[in-house]
Amino acid sequence: MIKNTGLIKFKIKLGKFESDIKLDPPQKNILALTGKSGSGKSTVAKVLCGIIKPQSGEIIINNKILFSSEKKINLSPHLRNIGMVFQENRLFTHMSVKSNLLYSQRRKKLSNTKLFDKTIELLDIRQLLNRKVLNLSGGEAQRVSIGRAILSDPKLLILDEPLSGLDIERQHNILSIIKNINIESKIPILFISHSLDEIVYSAESIALIENGKILTQGPVNDILSNKKTIFYNLENEEGTVLKCKIIAQNLEEKITTISIKNTEIIISKIPEVVGSDIAIRLLAKDISLATEKPKNISINNILEARILEIYESKNIGNVNVELKVGKNIIIARILQSSSKKLKLKTNDKVFALIKSISIVGRTNNN
């Protein structure tokens, strides 16, 4: 375990909205902060960078106390060393792209040409340097905005819904840039997003916020298969999202084999290379159960599983069956009458028949 050098803990009251946040800041990875709109995601960002002051609490990032109500510390935004990318690009319209990028370095009297070159290379914005901000497209402006934040040499980079308003292709482009930034520059990132696809693609861990409180925080797969949170972001469709790795490509039969913590699943071929991370979505309604392994069946993915829990589904007449497959948890939704007929109970061994798998974060799901 890496020693925890950060702490985010504060209480704030804004009109009728109250927020009581306790969060472990990301150490070097990407932490996604997600929740419905109005849950207080952006408030966390504003408090962290010092735009609004919480009533009480303590905020420590990278061993530096940014706020402490006890010690009466409240650093002003320019001393906090936090980079921020907003929903709107918020670029300085009276300056060129280059001046925007260098704004922070000039203020902090830094001159890091190496970082500058690396950043514009990473963001692919060299050709934009002398352009005016207003002539940039949405995607270009957002890349410049990310560049401005990175060049401030931050100890924490906060991205507040940076992809909203961009088309899907540009979203993917920016997402992969964000991932690269994290890998290359090791800047810890707090990625605020309401989109599950974005999170699963980029983040290692998730914090879930609701009504101004953090419900839970942990690795992506653990949170996404958590019963309490399964309705989140699946457009009210019960199911689970799992991160997995591509382990084989069969070009002849046009199938791809993926592995989720050692459980292998076959899907129709996708272009990603062996070794890449992808995420799949298993909807509860697409999983059937059998007590014996069926033979002569067209379904490819039949997984041995153990029943953890059976509970009522929000769909009338249905039950959700929480299953342990290898080290993963998935959920199947079956009719209550089927459950009775099969005499299913906790700890039974069953076979999960997966009828359909969608790849998360891609335009063409299969």
d(C-alpha 146, C-alpha 148), whole Å = 5
* Residue 246 interacts with another protein (CB under 8 A): yes or no: no
Among 98, 108, 194, 362, contact with another protein (rule: CB under 8 A): 108
* Residue 64 interacts with another protein (CB under 8 A): yes or no: no
Please identify, among the stretches 19-27, 49-57, 199-207, 226-234, the one whose residues bind another protein according to the rule CB under 8 A. 49-57
* Residue 352 interacts with another protein (CB under 8 A): yes or no: no
* Residue 103 interacts with another protein (CB under 8 A): yes or no: yes
Q: How far is the CB of 133 from another protein (least distance, A)?
A: 5
* Residue 268 interacts with another protein (CB under 8 A): yes or no: no
Q: What angle do CA 55, 59, 64 make, to 5 degrees?
A: 140
d(C-alpha 282, C-alpha 278), whole Å = 13
Among 51, 168, 274, 297, contact with another protein (rule: CB under 8 A): 51
Tell me the H-state helices in 94-190: 97-107, 113-123, 138-150, 168-185
Neighbouring residues of 43: CB distance < 8 A, sequence distance ≥ 6: 12, 14, 17, 19, 52, 212
- Nearer to another protein (CB atom), residue 101 or residue 331: 101
Pairing of strands 189-192, 156-160: parallel
Q: Pattern 138-177, binding to another protein, x per CB under 8 A?
A: ----------xx--x-------------------------
Please identify, among the stretches 3-11, 48-56, 200-208, 269-277, the one whose residues bind another protein according to the rule CB under 8 A. 48-56
Among 31, 32, 59, 82, contact with another protein (rule: CB under 8 A): 82
Q: At residue 9, what are phi and psi to the nearest 5 degrees? A: -155, 115
CB of 15 closer than 8 Å to CB of 212: no
Beta bridge partners of residue 315, listed in sequence order: none
Q: How far is the CB of 331 from another protein (least distance, A)?
A: 41
d(C-alpha 112, C-alpha 129), whole Å = 16
Name the residues that contact another protein, by CB under 8 A.
49-51, 76-78, 80, 82-84, 86, 88, 90-95, 103-104, 107-108, 132-135, 148-149, 152
